[in-house]
Amino acid sequence: MQIVQVSVYSLIKYLEESKFDAVFMDPFFPCGQIVAEHLSLSSVYLVRGLPCSLDFHATLCPNPPSYIPRFFTRYTDRMTFLQRVGNLIASLSSSLACSFLYSPYDGLIKEFLQQEATVLELFSHASIWLMKYDFVFEYPRPLMPNMVLIGGISCTQEKALSQVSYIFFFPFSYGCTVCSHQEMELLAATNNTR
């Protein structure tokens, strides 16, 4: 335990002496934000989403369960009354689960920053949120000015179609394609996708 504390304090000392301008992090685990607060640095988050919509709560962004479906509910933005009630219950239960998920960090915050604060308060100090959302795939929702949509930043570069794939799919470019299992195996073998 003593060795870990010495290495942590030597790391913090190194970070203080390095004079960084900002901390770029994924906020799922709030340790980076705790360090950023300790060093009085700006925080930039790269995030797809946080449990219990904590990202929207921290930015004070409207997140009404009446028309924004919660994750894992499989609802659309056109919900019936009972689906809206279910969406509200999912929202409330996820908030309860989130309090259990992030409550162990409260002691770490108090010990390291020497102040009483919650993870939500620390997340609210972020300078900018780079959101890996794209409204092509997500339901439209209100955003705050410090939330920037960056969409498919983690997408890979596309590969050119093989000649076999091009010849196969070219006649179907304006409609749907129906293939047999054998044809799909041939395509998979030529493109090495399996």
Quote the pLDDT of residue 182: 60
At residue 188 the predicted structure's pLDDT band, cuts being 50, 70 and 90, is: low
- Same-domain pairing of 183 and 100: no
- Same-domain pairing of 34 and 98: yes
Which of 37, 46, 19 shows the shortest CA–CA distance to 115? 37
- Same-domain pairing of 141 and 73: yes
- Same-domain pairing of 28 and 71: yes
- Same-domain pairing of 171 and 135: no
Total domains present in the chain: 2
- Same-domain pairing of 92 and 175: no
- Predicted TM-score (pTM) above 0.75: no
- Same-domain pairing of 126 and 63: yes
Which of 27, 25, 7, 47 shows the shortest CA–CA distance to 122? 27
Phi then psi for residue 129, to 5 deg, are -115, 115
CA distance 78 to 75: 8
Percent of the chain at pLDDT above 90?
2
Query: Range with the lowest mean pLDDT among 90-99, 112-121, 149-158?
Result: 149-158
Is the pLDDT at 172 greater than 60, yes or no? no
- Same-domain pairing of 160 and 127: no
CA distance 190 to 181: 14
- Same-domain pairing of 139 and 168: no
- Same-domain pairing of 180 and 90: no
Q: What is the strand order of the sheet 42-47 is part of? A: 22-25, 42-47, 128-131, 147-149
Amino acid at 88: L
Quote the pLDDT of residue 2: 47
- Same-domain pairing of 78 and 44: yes
CA distance 36 to 51: 21
At residue 16 the predicted structure's pLDDT band, cuts being 50, 70 and 90, is: confident
Which two three-digit tokens encode residue 16?
């203080």
Q: 117-162: per-residue pLDDT in tens?
A: 888 899 989 888 888 877 777 777 788 888 888 876 556 666 665 6
Task: Decide which of 160 and 9 is more confident.
Answer: 9
- Same-domain pairing of 99 and 164: no
Pick the most confident of 16-25, 59-68, 115-124, 173-182: 115-124
CA distance 134 to 109: 33
Q: Give the domain extent around 161.
A: 156-194
